[in-house]
Amino acid sequence: MKRKMTLKQIAKELDVSVSTVSKALKDSKEISQDTRDKVQAFAKLYNYRPNNIAISLKNRQSRNIGVIIPDIVHHFFTQVISGIENIANANGYNVIVCLSNESFEREVLNMEALAQGSTDGFIMSLAKETQEKGDYHHLREVVNMGMPLVMFDRVADEIYCDKVVIDDAQAAYNAVNQMIGSGCRKIAIISTHDHVSVGKLRTLGYMNALRDAGIELNENLVVKVDGEEACAEAARKLLKYQVVDGIFAVNELYAIIAMQEAHKREFRIPEDISVVGFTDGILSKYSNPPLTTVVQHGFEIGEMTAKMLIDKLEGREPEDHYRTEVIKTTIELRESTRNEATTTL
């Protein structure tokens, strides 16, 4: 490993002091033009670059942003990372990505490791396990240390920090409302056994939409499942034993699976049954027929989290004041729904 050029070496070579070199490189007028030129030329020649670590130590900041997410293979999270990276990069920050893999322990370990100087602040979405446990001591700790924290998507209400979320209930409401507008009356919802808000909120939006349209809630059309197989099974039952003319699924995958089951039973989509998903991903775009979905705008969420964090880091926002930004969802109308001239949201 070749030694890297340092101020000290330059100083020695040019027979000046380290301070002089440092100042000369910053074009400080405390140093004569002559010396400045000499130093700069030498530095350029040997391709001198200041050592990030030394600067971090000196300034007590790393210019790194720690991102802790449950998992990276989901489209939504990659979009968020993309957005974060975009803003971070533009502001001279690097992004350190850690995966909790939905594990509480790894989430804690990762946070603790990064919190000791590696990172100036955190952006995170909670692991499922963490949500179930409801143990947020690690979050409290970093917040108490004065490290800015921005949570998104899966957030902990009881932690005081900046947050970026979508209005799940409203988004679900809009989606279901759209289905109603296109003539659906027997709309089923396929949701998850969420220990968390997300599933509940989306179900709530579903119910409100029905209520506001004067449609009575049929409990048989409200199903909660975990896993692909369970979803397929539930869809089969739904289609076999119930009268259904619309299915609203709380994620993309469940919607696709429901569509597949509908196909198998020879339902026509969207003529016989409309299907709407949540979280716009690549599946929705290329499924057959393409799926109408609620778009969460992960990229914008990522950008927003990064903006909020950097604002805190650079002192543009007061430390002790926390905001919760709600990012608007939209509906991407595709061919799995009958899209009359109803206003798109």
Partner DNA sequence: AACGTTAACGAAAACGTTTTCGTGTTAATA
Partner DNA sequence: TATTAACACGAAAACGTTTTCGTTAACGTT
- Say whether residue 2 binds DNA (CB under 7 A): no
Residue 280: which of 166, 139, 164, 193 has the closest Cα? 166
Smallest gap from Cβ 17 to DNA, in A, equals: 3
Q: Is 157 left (phi over 0), alpha (psi -120 to 50) or beta?
A: alpha
| Nearer residue to DNA within complex by CB, 119 or 336 | 119
Instruction: Measure Cα distances from 169 to 111, 204, 254, 315 in Å.
Output: 30, 6, 18, 34
Contact window for its own copies (CB under 8 A) among 20-28, 140-148, 201-209, 331-339: 140-148
- Say whether residue 2 binds its own copies (CB under 8 A): yes
Smallest gap from Cβ 206 to its own copies, in A, equals: 24
Instruction: Measure Cα distances from 196 to 149, 191, 192 in Å.
Output: 20, 12, 10
> Which residue's structure tokens are 């850690």?
98
At residue 104, what is the residue type? Answer: F
- Phi, psi for residue 249 in degrees, rounded to 5: -110, 145
Contact window for DNA (CB under 7 A) among 26-34, 220-228, 239-247, 275-283: 26-34
Among 266, 319, 320, 340, binds its own copies (CB under 8 A): 319
H or E element that contains 104: helix 104-115
- Say whether residue 198 binds its own copies (CB under 8 A): no
Q: Choose among DNA, its own copies, none what residue 114 binds, the Cβ cut-off being 5 to 8 Å by kind.
A: its own copies
Whether 188 contacts 215, CB under 8 Å: no
Rounded Cα distance, 274 and 285, in Å: 16
- Say whether residue 7 binds DNA (CB under 7 A): yes
| Nearer residue to DNA within complex by CB, 54 or 217 | 54
H or E element that contains 254: helix 252-264
Letters for 51-90 (x = contact with DNA by CB under 7 A, - = none) are: x-xxx-xx-x------------------------------
- Say whether residue 78 binds its own copies (CB under 8 A): yes
Go through the chain and tell me how many residues it has: 345
Total site size for DNA, rule CB under 7 A: 32
Whether 290 contacts 335, CB under 8 Å: yes
Rounded Cα distance, 306 and 8, in Å: 36
- Say whether residue 16 binds DNA (CB under 7 A): yes
| Residues 38-57, interacting with DNA (CB under 7 A) | 48-51, 53-55, 57
Q: Choose among its own copies, DNA, none what residue 7 binds, the Cβ cut-off being 5 to 8 Å by kind.
A: DNA
At residue 276, what is the residue type? Answer: V
Rounded Cα distance, 171 and 143, in Å: 30
Contact footprint for DNA (CB under 7 A): 3-4, 6-8, 15-20, 22-23, 25-26, 29-35, 48-51, 53-55, 57-58, 60
Contact footprint for its own copies (CB under 8 A): 1-2, 4, 49-54, 56-57, 62, 64, 71-73, 75, 78-79, 81-82, 85, 89, 94-99, 106, 110, 112-118, 144-147, 253, 256-257, 260, 263, 281-283, 286-288, 319
